[in-house]
Amino acid sequence: MVSTSTRYQIVTNNLARTKTLIANDATVKRETEYYNKTIKTIKTVDDFVKNDRVFKYAMKAYGLEDMAYAKAFIKKLLNEGVSSSTSMANKMSNPLYKEFAKAFDFAGKGALATSAASATTEAVDRYVQQTLEQREGSDNQGVRLALYFKRKASSVKTTMGILADKALLQFVQTTFNIPQAASRADLDIQVRNLEKVLDVKDFQDPKKVDKLIQRFNVMWDMTNAPATAVSPVLSLFNQSYDQGISVDLMMSITKLRLGGN
């Protein structure tokens, strides 16, 4: 089996070509052509949600494919927009909802919302990227998480931004060997513990982001390898919280900053 690091390099070394291959896939091409032909003709939230094909394309593009069934919820989200601090989009912990409401800003732009780049060219590029990540994930979920982190890292400004995104949190937990049980702690404790092992400012540095991804890829393969494939030495570092190691101890063990390698 190809390692996570190797597959990630294959995909990213010529990302433009990889995305072109995805875009030219028969199914992707057909859906994109329909979306491009139709999106600018849609002028209201109601029409947007009613066109199931366009709506699902847009939801997938912005990482919300799993919520495409919740049309009443999304209608409320879009009708309220993002200008008010009390709007639904600004109160949601998951930043993807606000991103979607800004991309299809019917509340602020009215009928012109679907002519914006965020609803046209950017949506198509995101759809292709999402499809790429999903297909890689079907073979190796680690590659999908690495690609997702590469794409999202620079948008994360606070530690809470990690906790609000399950995929980013899984990436970080894997990278620093933090047990999932750590997520049961109070939010302020989770924030303090994460800040012991990383600084979100590093997410703005492409070199440090790549370094984190390299570490993640190795840790992913180690923690997801069959038990028979893990050496006795590595298995010492692979005990879970449920086997008796406390969250605090695990956080102490993983107290390693990027510059400390």
State how far the Cα of 65 lies from the Cα of 39, in Å rounded to an integer: 17
pLDDT digits 0-9 by tens, 5-50: 999 999 999 899 999 999 999 999 999 999 999 999 999 999 999 9
Question: Total structural domains in the chain?
Answer: 2
Task: Give the CATH number of the domain where residue 214 resides.
Answer: 1.10.3700.10
Q: Do 147 and 98 fall within a single domain? A: no
Q: Is residue 55 part of a domain?
A: yes
In this model, does residue 192 exceed pLDDT 50? yes
**What percentage of residues in the chain have a pLDDT greater than 90?**
79
Q: Do 19 and 97 fall within a single domain? A: yes
Q: Do 177 and 102 fall within a single domain? A: no
Q: Do 120 and 10 fall within a single domain? A: yes
Q: Is residue 107 part of a domain?
A: yes
Q: What is the mean pLDDT of the chain?
A: 87
In this model, does residue 254 exceed pLDDT 60? no
Cβ-based burial of 16 (10 A; exposed 0-12, middle 13-18, buried ≥19): exposed
Q: Is residue 101 part of a domain?
A: yes
Q: Do 149 and 182 fall within a single domain? A: yes
In this model, does residue 236 exceed pLDDT 70? no
Q: Is residue 131 part of a domain?
A: no
Q: Is residue 209 part of a domain?
A: yes
Write out the residue range of the structural domain in which residue 27 sits.
4-124
In this model, does residue 255 exceed pLDDT 80? no
In this model, does residue 248 exceed pLDDT 50? no
Q: Do 238 and 187 fall within a single domain? A: yes
Q: Do 56 and 145 fall within a single domain? A: no
Q: Do 249 and 187 fall within a single domain? A: yes
Q: Which of 64, 92, 124 is the last residue of a domain?
A: 124
Q: Do 64 and 115 fall within a single domain? A: yes
pLDDT digits 0-9 by tens, 145-159: 999 999 999 999 999
Q: Region 82-86: what's the mean pLDDT?
A: 94
Q: Region 206-234: what's the mean pLDDT?
A: 78
How confident is the model at residue 226, as a pLDDT?
59
In this model, does residue 227 exceed pLDDT 70? no
Q: Is residue 136 part of a domain?
A: no
From the centroid of its chain, how far is CA 207? 19
pTM of the model: 0.81
In this model, does residue 67 exceed pLDDT 70? yes
In this model, does residue 205 exceed pLDDT 60? yes
In this model, does residue 237 exceed pLDDT 60? no
Q: Is the dihedral of CA 31, 34, 40, 42 positive or negative?
A: negative
Q: Region 234-244: what's the mean pLDDT?
A: 34
State how far the Cα of 234 lies from the Cα of 225, in Å rounded to an integer: 11
Q: Is residue 130 part of a domain?
A: no
**Which of 106-110, 128-132, 230-234, 237-241 bottoms out in mean pLDDT, i.e. has the lowest?**
237-241
Q: Do 65 and 156 fall within a single domain? A: no
Q: Is residue 93 part of a domain?
A: yes
Q: Do 91 and 161 fall within a single domain? A: no
223 contact partners, CB below 8 Å, separation of at least 6: 174, 177, 238
Q: Do 107 and 177 fall within a single domain? A: no
